[in-house]
Amino acid sequence: MTQAELFFPRPATPPSPLFNFHEPSAAAAALEDTEDEPRDAFSAKLIDYPHSSADAVRVAEQRFRRELEKQLGADVLPAMRAFQNASESSDTDLTKREIALAARWVKAYDAARTAGFRDLGDTDEAYFEVKAI
């Protein structure tokens, strides 16, 4: 900044008409569309829980689902299917991707189960069932 700019400031220039700050650009709209890609829908249900507290069950199911989505992201159903395929067939019938997804499912399910059962207490026979909807 020079002394002339300091002591004799110029008036602010009006905003450029090329930019409209109220409407998103076409590029921004295209990015928003890709972020909202539909994920595979699944349900998680707590089975064989001996206590009948509906609120506790609902919270546990939400925690389980949230942790499963955190671990696997959009790969929840593909990983579950890969695990089911791996448990029903031999290793030679599976692709490397299916084996990797099945291994991720085991780790993610264990972490989600731990998160889901965190505040439930006695849960020897209870388990979470995951189904595609």
Q: How far apart are CA 59 and CA 120, in angstroms?
A: 10
The pTM of the full predicted model, rounded to 2 decimals, is 0.67
Q: How far apart are CA 65 and CA 61, in angstroms?
A: 6
Token pair, residue 26, equals: 């076409």
**CB-side neighbour CA atoms (13 Å) of 87:** 9
Residue the block writes with tokens 């029903």: 88
Each residue's pLDDT expressed in tens, for the chain with a length of 133 residues = 677 677 776 776 666 555 555 555 555 555 444 444 445 689 999 998 887 688 889 999 999 999 999 999 999 999 999 999 999 987 778 889 999 999 999 999 999 999 999 888 767 789 999 998 8
